[in-house]
Amino acid sequence: MGVGRYVDGPHKTTRIDGDEGGVSPTDTGAAARENGRTMEWEDRIAAARQAGLRGLELAARSLGGLPLFLAAVLSIALLPLGIGLLLAPRAVAAVRRYADEQRERGRAWSGVRIDRPYRGPAHGLRQVLDPATWRDLLWLILNVPVGTAMGLVPVALSAWAGLGLVIAPVVLTVGTEHQFWSVAVGIGVLAVAVLIAGAPAFLDLHARFSAALLSPPRYALEARVDRLEVTRADALDSGAAELRRIEKDLHDGAQARIAALGMTIGLAEQLIRTDPDKAEALLAEARDTSGQALADLRRLVRGIHPPVLAERGLVEAVRALAVVLPVPTTVLADPGVRAAAPVEAALYFAIAEALANVTKHSGATRAWVNLRARAQNLVVEVGDDGTGGAGIPPAGGLAGVCKRLGAFDGRMAVTSPPGGPTVLAMEVPCGS
């Protein structure tokens, strides 16, 4: 037997014998290419199978939108009678949730991003009067035939392809005397080819159809860009003001205490030999001063980014904030609610400001904070059962909160009828 050597191929190591033929590198490369083609076909078949299942889900959900459309239209039609004031906001909220589910499916199934076009957090008739609501309703009724058809095409292809594959062995066994069976097998083979090649395309087409109606219109995007330019300028001004505040706090607080600490220690060094008792008293004073300086620095850091927010996330930080409030406060959150660190910091300070207003001005006996993930946005509601009549003044803490959220394309709205309850709603993009 001759001396052999080993060659590492793309998928395995092959032994090459010097005088007994063996396997050549060319054979290994051909096998690798064949294996790659096999894997590609397996991926296509898996994608086609998945498209069939998703198509069935899409068709069912599209048909399920018809009762929701009828309920929403009926509740809006009842507005003049008064009962619609109670029913319409709930129906519209359900339509928005249904549309948000489609936005999420479009992203997950087809990679099509569908932004939310709504004007911001809204309650009651504001939701009904939002132009985006009427686009949602238009999509909802059109989606019944369109979504059902586009969903059933992959299902029908899967069914016919399966039927053709079942019939083919029968035809090969009994012959082709009956033309029907030959045609059925031919159509089945064609269905297999179309299913593998194009079934996912029907889901992509439906996602683009939904994006055309559920995305913000062009004029809304232009207005959004204009608003972002304004909020960006406000954010730059706020950032500069924040830096000046930090500099002032350091200068007047920790820096002054540290300077005094150095002077006290220097004086103690001079007296350590001549007056030990006085030096010991000065060192005790220096220790107290260092503790005060450290407390100043901690307060300053807490005002920039609270440690609990960095360590445990937004939900736990809000719960820690609610525990120390004099007004009993309930915090509810969807599981896994997270956002980028700057967004979480902005929302944390916004919630803190809102809860401070509840404590100072509302006269409430209880309050609540709800954090929910909705499509690519994080929605926060801070409410109380106080006297109501609240608003967002042009200056003050809540005005600063608006600017802080605006830097992240966020929005805030207040609903506070006389007698309460008061609900402060914030919505900030947090996903891709």
Instruction: Give the max Cα distance, the chain.
Output: 124
Q: Which residues pair with 411 in a beta bridge?
A: 427
The pLDDT value given to residue 66: 94
Task: Kindly provide the b/e burial profile for residues 177-193, where b requires at least 16 CB atoms within 10 angstroms of the residue's own CB.
Answer: eeeebeebbeebeebbe
What's the fold here for domain 312-429?
Heat Shock Protein 90 (3.30.565)
In the predicted model, what is the mean pLDDT of residues 13-19? 44
The per-residue pLDDT for 136 is 93
How far is it, in rounded angstroms, from Cα 246 to Cα 254?
A: 11
CA 92/CA 98 separation, integer angstroms:
10
Q: Does residue 31 register a pLDDT over 70?
A: no
What is the average pLDDT value for the chain, to the nearest integer?
Answer: 76
Domain boundaries, the chain: 4-41, 48-216, 231-304, 312-429
Q: Which two tokens stand for residue 276?
A: 């030990």
> Rounded to an integer, what distance in angstroms lies between the CA atom of residue 209 and that of residue 203?
10
pLDDT of residue 145: 94
For residues 322 and 383, the answer to whether their CB atoms sit within 8 Å is no
Confidence of residue 177 (pLDDT cuts 50, 70, 90): low
- Pick the closest to residue 406 from 352, 319, 346, 322 (CA basis): 346
Distance separating alpha carbons of residues 57 and 54, to the nearest angstrom: 5
pLDDT band at 45 (very low <50, low <70, confident <90, very high): low
Q: Under CATH, which architecture does the 231-304 domain have? A: Up-down Bundle (1.20)
Candidate ranges 191-200, 294-303, 420-429; pick with highest mean pLDDT: 420-429
Give the span between the Cα atoms of 250 and 254, in whole angstroms.
5
pTM of the model: 0.50
pLDDT of residue 256: 77
Q: Which two tokens stand for residue 342?
A: 């700057």
Average of per-residue pLDDT across 238-267 = 75
Single out the residue of 159, 169, 197 nearest to residue 52, CA to CA. 159
Beta bridge partners of 32: none
Write 329-332 long-range contacts (CB < 8 A, 24+): 329/355, 329/358, 329/366, 329/367, 329/368, 329/369, 330/366, 330/367, 330/368, 330/369, 331/368, 331/369, 331/371, 332/368, 332/369, 332/370, 332/371
Residue 180: the pLDDT is 52
**Model pLDDT, residue 390:** 75
pLDDT of residue 292: 82
Looking at 169-173, 371-375, 384-388, which range is the least confident one?
A: 169-173
Give whichever of 15-19, 42-46, 404-408, 421-425 has the largest mean pLDDT. 421-425
Other beta carbons within 10 Å of 256: 14
pLDDT at 67 (0 to 100): 94
User: pLDDT digits over 180-189, tens only?
Assistant: 555 555 555 5
> Average pLDDT of 103-119?
83
Helix, strand, or coil (residue 82): coil
pLDDT band of residue 257 (cuts 50, 70, 90) is: confident
pLDDT on residue 395? 62
Model confidence band, residue 15 (pLDDT cutoffs 50, 70, 90): very low
Q: Is the pLDDT reported for residue 314 higher than 80?
A: yes
Environment class of 267 (CB within 10 Å of its CB; exposed 0-12, middle 13-18, buried 19+): middle
pLDDT of residue 14: 43
Given a contact cutoff of 8 angstroms between Cβ atoms, the answer to whether 125 and 87 are in contact is: no
Structure confidence at residue 3 (pLDDT): 42
Q: Can you give the pLDDT at residue 431?
A: 59
Position 44 scores a pLDDT of: 60
pLDDT, tens digit, for every residue of 273-312? 888 888 888 888 888 888 888 877 777 766 666 777 878 8
Q: What is the pLDDT of residue 61?
A: 92
d(CA 151, CA 61): 10
Sort 380 into a burial class: Cβ within 10 Å, 0-12 / 13-18 / 19+. buried
**Predicted pLDDT of residue 42:** 60
**Is pLDDT of 30 > 60?**
no
| Nearest of 400, 422, 419, 403 to residue 411 by alpha carbon | 403
With 80 as the cut, is the pLDDT of residue 168 above it? no
- Asked if residue 25 has pLDDT above 60, the reply is no
Over 60: is that where the pLDDT of 367 sits?
yes
Q: What is the mean pLDDT of residues 308-328?
A: 86
| Percentage of the residues of the chain whose pLDDT score is greater than 90 | 13
User: Does the pLDDT at position 266 exceed 90?
Assistant: no
Average pLDDT, integer, range 146-170 = 71
Query: At what angle are helices 397-406 and 341-357 packed, to 10 degrees?
Result: 160
